[in-house]
Amino acid sequence: MQTDFLVIGSGIAGLTYALKVAQDCPDKTVTIFTKTQSDETNTKYAQGGIAGVMDADNDSFEKHIEDTLIAGDGLCNRQTVEIVVKEGVQRIHEIIEWGAQFDKEPDGDYKLGKEGGHSEFRILHHKDVTGKEMERALLEAIKKAENIQLISHCFVLDIITQHHLGYLVTKSTPDIECYGVYVLNLQTNKIETVTAGVTLLATGGNGQVYRTTTNPAIATGDGVAMVYRAKGRIENMEFIQFHPTALYEPGVRGQSFLITEAVRGDGGILRNHAGEAFMERYDERKDLAPRDIVARAIDNEMKVNGTEHVYLDCRHFSKEKFTEHFPNIYAKCLSIGIDITKHMIPVAPAAHYSCGGIKTDEWGRTSIKNLYAAGECASTGLHGANRLASNSLLEAMVFAHRAYKDSVSNVVLRKASPSGGGLEGAGIPDWKTDGTTSPKEMILITQSVKELKLLMSDYVGIVRNNERLHRAMKRLDLLFAETEELYKKTIVSPQLCELRNMITVAYVIVKSAEFRQESRGLHFNTDYPGKSEMVQNIVL
Ligand code: FAD
Ligand code: SIN
């Protein structure tokens, strides 16, 4: 299969990019692969909203830039922050034109919410299901574009580089180039070779590496793992953001339900089991301090009091006010017997967002030629050591736009070879399946996934130390060896590939955490409680 523009991922980053290149280049083909259903993405679950300076009377670019820099704890790239904040407003207007609806006041102005770390009300939202609404609007626009094909249930295995043509590729190879991808079509069970002029990775986050996460099952860090295997650059992976308030539901596995920070923005108060509003003891911004501070405070309260959760108190809200902004949360709580007007909501931190990722420049270019990355899988320099709430949907749209601009203007689209055997006669080989058989026991995969999640949660969570990181690495080595052995002799499946990708991502997180010998933002190591004088990114 050949396509001009290849997009891996159907969340906000992938769909925004695809729409833009398709509109600008109507004679070119755009192909989107997504590994399960088209709308099953982190994007769909975004609740709080998208940050943007929409109220110029009370807010300003400078304030949004400053808030982002403060949250990022000294590690943001100021130029990137300015780009995202300033260009973001245009991108918000575009998605509104594509049909996304955000809540409005009776006078027609947008209703703006507030979340942790924001000095002003600047969060546009669609009730408490903002991401679902944005995903809906984008998917509808995609359906109308004749030169886009969105193919669901296609699991991308690896990006194709010179390595697949038989050349030695290392981290120091100067011009690593991406020719396309190998993809497992889950409808036909065949592995196809797909060549492309330009490839965009928009594969989202990696929350599934942890036992408790707000991320859906698709969030296994595949893009980061693929680039790492292809010897591309990965940056700042130690900064895993734990959302302070996921609903605590004992026995629920997989994805935890989020209680958006906007609830605290509207006045929700965190309390411990004694009923104390404990955030006063940790930060003068109390419940609306940046996420790293609130998550660590909750973690400390839970450890000191020996409890598995704290509470979010919304009993002082009127039912009308709460249900108007948060109908989905109200219904979810009620479904498990919590009437938020009478009971406090049990909450605990959960892995939520990957601030680091595939290193990109100001045009979304990765270190591999013809390969772009945007959205949560990318590390653009916006978030630094800690992402400001509701900045990620904004970042995804801004960098999808920039990647589109660069890819249509600078990249010469390739011609497929007349023989159809690859690019310009390059002769890309088919995926090798010789000597592999069907897996005999799924337990070999599922048990390793459990072990991985446990070790990451226990040793590489909100609070870390050298001993824990060392233990995590030793256990990862064993899981890696066992999984590679299985991989060599087994026919590939999404489950096995996801396990392999998650081990790679976990390894990169631990390695980066070991390199960062200080505590900054989301990375807190009790062996190095202070900040280092040298402010640096960790690039692997
Ligand atoms: P995603 O939307 O996650 O899409 C990833 C895509 O990649 C999927 O289509 C997936 O199938 C595909 N994919 C992955 N691997 C492969 C593979 N191997 N082969 C083929 N396809 C693959 N951010 C905000 O700014 N505001 C919020 O209010 C907010 N709330 C959030 C609430 C929750 C519960 C969560 C989980 C996140 C929230 N975030 C929020 C973060 C934000 O939603 C995400 O960072 C953002 O949506 C990521 O978009 P994306 O396009 O990068 O990736
Ligand atoms: C939330 O709604 O609390 C999540 C916002 C975000 O992750 O940016």
In CATH, what number is assigned to the domain containing residue 467? 1.20.58.100
DSSP assignment letter at 428: P
pLDDT of residue 414: 56
Pairing relationship of beta strands 345-354 and 240-247 according to DSSP bridges: antiparallel
pLDDT of residue 425: 44
Judge whether 381 lies within some domain. no
Task: List, in sequence order, every beta strand (DSSP E) within 59-167.
Answer: 123-124, 148-151, 154-160
Residue 228 and residue 333 in contact, taking contact as beta carbons nearer than 8 Å: no
**Ligand 1 in contact with 150 (CB < 6 A)?**
no
**Ligand 1 in contact with 328 (CB < 6 A)?**
no
Give the integer Cα–Cα distance in Å for 142 and 361.
27
Angle made by CA atoms 121, 126, 127, in degrees to the nearest 5: 85
Judge whether 163 lies within some domain. no
Q: What's the domain count of the chain?
A: 2
For residue 291, indicate whether it is catalytic.
Answer: yes
* End residue of a domain, out of 303, 319, 350: 350
pLDDT of residue 511: 98
DSSP assignment string, 406-421: HHHHHPPPPPBPTTSS
Judge whether 47 lies within some domain. no
Shortest-distance Cα residue to atom 39 of ligand 1:
46
In CATH, what number is assigned to the domain containing residue 264? 3.90.700.10
How many CB atoms are located within 10 Å of the residue 443 CB?
9
Judge whether 359 lies within some domain. no
Using most ligand atoms within 8 A of CB, pick from 264, 392, 395 the residue to mutate for ligand 1.
392
Judge whether 52 lies within some domain. no
Residue whose structure tokens are 């002003």: 120
* End residue of a domain, out of 329, 350, 371: 350
Q: Along the 540 residues of the chain, how does pLDDT read in single tens digits?
A: 999 999 999 999 999 999 999 999 999 999 999 999 999 999 999 999 999 999 889 999 999 999 999 999 999 999 999 999 999 999 999 999 999 999 999 999 999 998 888 999 999 999 999 999 999 999 999 999 999 999 999 999 999 999 999 899 999 998 999 999 999 999 999 999 999 999 999 999 999 999 999 999 999 999 999 999 999 999 999 999 999 999 999 988 889 999 999 999 899 999 999 999 999 999 999 999 988 899 999 999 999 999 999 999 999 999 999 999 999 999 999 999 999 999 999 999 999 999 999 999 999 999 999 999 999 999 999 999 999 999 999 999 999 999 999 999 876 655 544 344 445 546 899 998 877 777 777 888 999 999 999 999 999 999 999 999 999 999 999 999 999 999 998 889 999 999 999 999 999 999 999 999 999 999 999 999 999 988 899 999
pLDDT of residue 418: 38
Judge whether 448 lies within some domain. yes
Residue whose structure tokens are 């096995």: 496
Which of 225-254 are b and which e, b meaning 16 or more Cβ less than 10 Å from the residue's Cβ?
Answer: bbbbebbbbbbbbbbbbbbbbbbbeeeeee
Residue 496 belongs to domain spanning: 443-525
Question: Closest ligand 2 atom, CA of 245?
Answer: 3
pLDDT of residue 252: 85
Residue 345 and residue 259 in contact, taking contact as beta carbons nearer than 8 Å: yes
Work out the burial of residue 421: count CB atoms within 10 Å of its CB; fewer than 13 is exposed, 13-18 middle, 19 or more buried: middle
pLDDT of residue 438: 74
Of 91, 122, 264, 291, the active-site residue reads 291
Judge whether 283 lies within some domain. yes
* End residue of a domain, out of 298, 316, 350: 350
Closest-approaching ligand to the CA atom of 268: 2
DSSP assignment letter at 25: -
User: 464 alpha carbon to ligand 2 midpoint, in Å?
Assistant: 24
Judge whether 328 lies within some domain. yes
Classified as helix, coil or strand, 184 is strand
List, chain by chain if needed, residues with CB within 6 Å of any ligand 2 atom. Answer: 47-48, 260-262, 353, 389-390, 392
**Ligand 1 in contact with 47 (CB < 6 A)?**
yes
